[in-house]
Structure 1
Amino acid sequence: MLNNPLVLGIDLGTSGLRIAIINTKKKLLYTSSRSYPKSLEFCEDWINCLRNLIQKIPIDIKERLVSCSVAGTSGTLLACRTNGEPIGQALPYFLTSSLYSNEINKLFSKECAGSSTSGSVGRALKLINLYGTKILLRHQADWVSGWLLNNWEYGEEGNNIRMGWEISNSSWPKSFQNLNWINCLPKIIPSGQLMGNICSKKADELNLPRNIKVIAGTTDSNAGVLATFPKKNDGVTILGSTIVIKKFVDKPLLGKGISNHKILGNWLCGGASNAGAAILLDFFNLEYIDELSKQINPNKYSGINLIPLSKQGERFPIDDPNLQPKLEPRPVSDSLYLHAIFEGLAKIEARGWQKLQELGADLPRQIITIGGGAKNITWKKIREREIGIPIKICNRPPAAGVASIALQTLL
């Protein structure tokens, strides 16, 4: 075994990619990020960002890497040929598929992440209609893992829950058996399992050791949870482009827009809204947000009720592909408008925790928050006021969370 081995986490989010390198004690040694030049839909952006970031890792760190693991946005789906060559653009996780609602309903006998029109099945049906059944359907993390391996056979279980994969049964739903596109789906393996060694050609291209192992990763939101080291009574909110809430539970919870993952031997339940910090950048830049935040009294109400979605459609805490954004009235004061957006987002998060409680989860005693939005103290205080639960900020990047999965090869 290499002395002082290190592992690499690769986290693909909505707006860009981040890498993190940790040691066997999970200490963060290196991290770097890059925004997608175009957008989430372009898989060449995923690879170009990955190449750029890995090539800039200091050589003394890079040569000690022994394994890596990939996290990606849950539900972003790409059609490709059997050799991994992409066909068209990826369909992003926030693209709803109400056009296929009848077909989706016929495939599921109970509510789950896959039964929602915001799940991956509708996107799969759209891609099948576009390109036929002699293709592969791969979620973002699975396709990037396949690129590293030069083998697109596999899919990690958590990344395929929104396609209908049942973790409790380790199988696709029985209704999938007669699908004419069942062979488009991946062979599912659990998070933390060895997928194989990096392709030697890719290792040479990235100037990485040829014996690096690729370990099945997880979703970007689960990576965020792992980065916080939560206790059972903690809840975790990831404030990235979207709001994601997660909590460990005793047994899976059933409901549209609800996902149940098996992480570290425990059930992790949660949901993801289409609303999040991305809406802030539709109106203000980061520097102006910081300036305006200082002008807001978080203990007072704005008096303006907004639904701060960037576009039509919501998946959690309510599953409604037709829900319209409500971004008016816009007051003359920019600080008052930002105040109202913060409140609107906080109310969505509060309803999310209430939804999990209605389905059987205990409310968390504290909420650990990670992601770019976690740093805003004004927003934090408004969230505490709306939710009624203490909030703690974690500054570790989700990429460090998925890197911890890559440690499985050393255990």
Structure 2
Amino acid sequence: MSAEGRDGTSALVIGLDFGTSSAKGCVIRAKSQGAEERLVFSCEAVTYEGQTQSVESWTDALYALLIQIPEALRRRAVRISLDATSATSICLNTAQVLMYDQGVGREVVELLKKYAPAESCVLSGSSSLAKLVFWLLESPPAGSALRFCHQADFLLRALVGSPVEVDGASHLIRYLREHAAFTSDWNNALKLGYDPEADEYPAWLIEGLLNGDPSLKDKPIPELPKVVRPGAVLGSVGFPFNALLPPDCQVCAGTTDSIAAFLASGCCQLGDACTSLGSTLAIKMLSQRRVESVQHGIYSHRFPTSGSASDRLWLVGGASNCGCRVLRDLKFTVEELRALSEEIDPQSPTGFHFYPLPLNATNGERFPDADPQKISTVDPSVRPRSKLLHAVFESIARVELSAYEKLYELGAECKQPLRLFSAGGGSENGTWSRMRSTLIYGVPEAPQMCAAESSEACYGAALLAADFTE
């Protein structure tokens, strides 16, 4: 892709992030020029309207983000992409939305177990496939085809627009619900059962479950989205968004919010890893080997490059329920965290070995060992408070170390990341970073420890459109 725009100015790319409660956006240069800052503009976060999320609230947020971008920058946009929450799904027939964390009942999962491989990530009540099957079972016999897509699929198709130029958002939504064909990507389609290694929907899904199970025999035939590589060009911006963006601006296939955040960190080569220290602890590492283990809460996304099978990379990892939420449970303020961190000697262990789940959580642990019965062992009475904070930092760092060791044990090439990028609020704490470095690499300031290039998933979505479509 040329770094030069239509009128000789530098070409720009837009990335959007549709998160759990709000949407964000940014504009970057299509190609960086040496040390030139790549980020050009950041949008203010847009909170979704209404008590519950809907396709209307998402399209309103999409418009609100784009209108924030100065017109002079919008005119230079040559590509746009976005990410959204994994497994947030829509039954287009009814416009019902089921969010990423909404489950649909044990009976659906038991049905999936008859067909899906034992290590498949669809074997969860909140997976996209579980939601699709739930809607099929709820549908009347011999009804019209069940139309299904993910949040990212819907919003990207909205950008491609309607062939009929009728004013009003309601017309666009009606067209999308009733007529549009949808395209998904390797990452969003993973929890729908798509096999990104074979690059197809597997036989167990099509011939086995959807066309072979007796409970679905008289149900509508589902219209599954076509699946392409993240970043692949889907088309050009159409009505009504061509009033905001150039009509030749290319719309590129998206990804999930967690993959976009990984891309934003700067990870791009074998052995790179990213630890996100937010409310939960998310771990991802680039490997040439695909690693799957339901027992350990580990699955693999195909990394969005277009190389041959021998060059293929997998983004392996999982998310622990441990993380910074326990610090809120212990009522550490931002000021207290900053002051007490200065009192901690990261090279001097406390002797405590907590498991730092949220204090009153009842959903157990997901990764590096899935255990629904696991509970927090943090003792809030430890004094002084600096020692309590030290012990919690240590404990989360040990979970991080255990996670990377587990990935290696199950087949990833690197026991230690060759480059470890850190993102999330916890990554900004220097004391904690030195503690983590010591545990993983044996020294407090290992050269392998890297600050994330950006902590914003929308930046990763922009990079996806700019860098991964060649």
Q: What TM-score, normalized by structure 1, do the two folds share? A: 0.84
CA 1:168–1:9 in structure 2 vs 1: closer, same or farther (change >3 Å)?
Answer: same
What's the CA shift for 1:346?
2.6
CA 1:311–1:379 in structure 2 vs 1: closer, same or farther (change >3 Å)?
Answer: farther
* 217, 230, 233: which one aligns with 2:268: 230
1: CA distance, partners of 2:108 / 2:424: 33
What's the CA shift for 1:29?
1.5
What's the CA shift for 1:20?
2.1
2: CA distance, partners of 1:272 / 1:41: 28
2: CA distance, partners of 1:39 / 1:354: 43
Deviation digits for residues 372-403 of structure 1 (CA, Å, limit 9, x no counterpart): 33222233233324434742211423322221
2: CA distance, partners of 1:327 / 1:38: 39
What's the CA shift for 1:169?
1.0
2: CA distance, partners of 1:116 / 1:182: 22
Where in structure 2 are the equivalents of 1:16-95 lying within 5 Å? 16-26=22-32, 27-34=38-45, 36=47, 42-43=53-54, 46-75=58-87, 77-81=88-92, 86-87=95-96, 89-93=97-101
1: CA distance, partners of 2:272 / 2:75: 37
* 187, 212, 222: which one aligns with 1:158: 187
399-408 or 180-189, larger mean C-alpha shift? 180-189
Q: Which amino acid aligns with 1:246?
A: K
> Which residue in the other structure is 2:314 paired with?
268
CA 1:387–1:46 in structure 2 vs 1: closer, same or farther (change >3 Å)?
Answer: farther
Where in structure 2 are the equivalents of 1:388-399 lying within 5 Å? 388=441, 390=446, 391-396=449-454, 397-399=456-458
> Which residue in the other structure is 2:35 paired with?
none
CA 1:341–1:13 in structure 2 vs 1: closer, same or farther (change >3 Å)?
Answer: farther
CA 1:288–1:47 in structure 2 vs 1: closer, same or farther (change >3 Å)?
Answer: farther
What's the CA shift for 1:367?
1.0
2: CA distance, partners of 1:169 / 1:21: 34
| Conserved 8 A contact 2:153-2:182 | no
* 194, 198, 215: which one aligns with 2:233: 194
Q: What stretches of structure 1 of length at least 5 have no aligned partner? A: none
What's the CA shift for 1:148?
2.3
1: CA distance, partners of 2:288 / 2:195: 17
What's the CA shift for 1:94?
7.4
Q: What TM-score, normalized by structure 2, do the two folds share? A: 0.75
> Which residue in the other structure is 1:247 paired with?
285
Q: What stretches of structure 2 of length at least 5 have no aligned partner? A: 33-37, 162-179, 211-215
Where in structure 2 are the equivalents of 1:111-150 lying within 5 Å? 111-116=119-124, 119-129=127-137, 134-150=145-161
SS at match of 1:114: coil
Which 4+ runs in 1 deviate beyond 6 A? Answer: 38-41
2: CA distance, partners of 1:153 / 1:281: 41
Q: Which amino acid aligns with 1:122?
A: A
360-369 or 291-300, larger mean C-alpha shift? 291-300
> Which residue in the other structure is 1:104 paired with?
112
257-266 or 335-344, larger mean C-alpha shift? 335-344
| Conserved 8 A contact 1:141-1:218 | yes
> Which residue in the other structure is 2:12 paired with?
6
> Which residue in the other structure is 1:170 paired with?
199
1:352 aligns with 2:403: yes
CA 1:289–1:120 in structure 2 vs 1: closer, same or farther (change >3 Å)?
Answer: farther
354-363 or 179-188, larger mean C-alpha shift? 179-188
> Which residue in the other structure is 1:366 paired with?
419
What's the CA shift for 1:96?
8.6
CA 1:277–1:69 in structure 2 vs 1: closer, same or farther (change >3 Å)?
Answer: farther
1:315 aligns with 2:344: no
CA 1:37–1:373 in structure 2 vs 1: closer, same or farther (change >3 Å)?
Answer: farther
What's the CA shift for 1:221?
2.3
SS at match of 1:162: helix
Q: Which amino acid aligns with 2:84?
A: G
207-216 or 29-38, larger mean C-alpha shift? 29-38
CA 1:148–1:25 in structure 2 vs 1: closer, same or farther (change >3 Å)?
Answer: same
1: CA distance, partners of 2:391 / 2:14: 39
Q: CA RMSD in A?
A: 3.3
Q: Which amino acid aligns with 2:115?
A: L
| Conserved 8 A contact 1:14-1:40 | no
What's the CA shift for 1:302?
6.7
Deviation digits for residues 195-232 of structure 1 (CA, Å, limit 9, x no counterpart): 1222321343xx33333221002222222232204332
| Conserved 8 A contact 2:23-2:48 | no
* 330, 335, 349: which one aligns with 2:380: 330
1: CA distance, partners of 2:102 / 2:345: 32
Q: Which amino acid aligns with 2:466?
A: L
SS at match of 2:248: coil
CA 1:54–1:335 in structure 2 vs 1: closer, same or farther (change >3 Å)?
Answer: farther
What's the CA shift for 1:67?
1.3
* 259, 263, 271: which one aligns with 2:300: 259
Aligned length: 404
284-293 or 262-271, larger mean C-alpha shift? 284-293
SS at match of 2:461: helix
CA 1:49–1:22 in structure 2 vs 1: closer, same or farther (change >3 Å)?
Answer: same
| Conserved 8 A contact 1:343-1:382 | yes
Larger Rg: 2
Deviation digits for residues 169-194 of structure 1 (CA, Å, limit 9, x no counterpart): 11122121141476243121221211
SS at match of 2:156: helix
1: CA distance, partners of 2:155 / 2:44: 16
